[in-house]
Amino acid sequence: MFTKTVVLPVGIDEAFALVTEPERLRRWQAVSARVDLRAGGGYRWTVTPGHSAAGTFREVEPGRRIVFGWGWEGSADLAPDTSIVSVDLEPVAGGTQVTLTHEGLTGKQEDMHAEGWNHYLGRLEKAVATGDAGPDEWSAAPENLDELTAAEATLAVLQNVLRQLTDSDRGKQTPCAEFTCHDLAEHLFGSMAALGSMAGVQIAVPEQGPLENKVATMGAQAVEGWRVRGLEGTVPGPNGEIPAGFAAGVMPVEFLLHAWDMAQGAGKTLVVSDQVVAYVQKLAEQVVPGGRGSSFADELTTSPGADPMERLAAYAGRRPIAA
């Protein structure tokens, strides 16, 4: 059994929100999170790209305790709902004591999960101290990249940029001449709805919440829909059937290029690994040529010292704002 306790300098209601609400979970533990917070309700957290934990809530006592089944999608050793995690909250001097206990693991599983929980509870403490734990280094360079894992990795990059935007950034011009930062986020709404529809998922724009929450929610629904559907066969495209893998590969291209666009327009930081950029570059080489003159401008020449992200942007016809 693994157990760990941290004390957070916040009230118990805020501490409970941090460990249960998707918008807050994304700031320290998950790339994306779907939560039905009730006894018998399910959850799915993409903890790192390509690795999603899932299970069912066994107990929910608001402000006091949650108990849920834990396991990993696609795992033969620890499938969803085959171990138990409990999180107990207690008011203490200076804040809230949070105790996490994970039971039902083998010795090797316990060692692996101890490393994970120590990492993420450390990020939880950082999120409380700073408002956001920032990009997770464990998500930066996923193993076994494919179209869907790359979509999750680039969605995390995009979310980090969106969380940096303020109201004053809404009207700032991006490298896409027709889009401000806010316009570009709304453009993404349409892209995600269309790409989700190809996988058989109907996605609506959430009515409430900041842009980051809306994009994160819709993006997660689209990627999860594609994971259920798979990448085999063909799907209906704008002009007829297209390979499913090609359609799914549009997501990481959209997520990463538009993250760069918004970061450029608003003067924010974009954090992405060269490994992820290199993979998305290969996808872009399939997607971009057919969109030249409409979605993408002609390829631009880069300086000899350009980094991989600048080269990808130039391939898609984007020029840095500073230029």
C-alpha distance from residue 11 to each of 67, 86, 127, 184 (Å): 20, 19, 14, 36
Contact 261, 179 (CB under 8 A): yes
pTM of the model: 0.95
The domains of the chain, with CATH numbers, are 2-130 (3.30.530.20), 140-315 (1.20.120)
- The pLDDT tens digits for 188-224 are 999 999 999 999 999 999 988 889 999 999 999 999 9
Q: What is the pLDDT of residues 106-165, one digit of tens each?
A: 999 999 999 999 999 999 999 999 989 999 999 999 988 999 999 999 999 999 999 999
Pull the structure tokens for residue 116.
């994970």
User: Whole-angstrom Cα distance, residue 68 to residue 252?
Assistant: 31
Q: Give the pLDDT confidence of 111-128 residue by residue, as tens digits.
A: 999 999 999 999 999 999
Tell me the C-alpha distance between 167 and 131, whole Å. 17
Number of residues that this document lists for the chain: 323
Q: Mind giving me the DSSP string for 18-56?
A: HTT-HHHHTTTT-SEEEE--STT-EEEEEEETTEEEEEE
Q: 323 pLDDT exceeds 80?
A: no
pLDDT digits (tens, 9 = 90+) for 36-92: 999 999 999 999 999 999 999 999 999 999 999 999 999 999 999 999 999 999 999
Reading the block at residue 234, the tokens are 């063909």
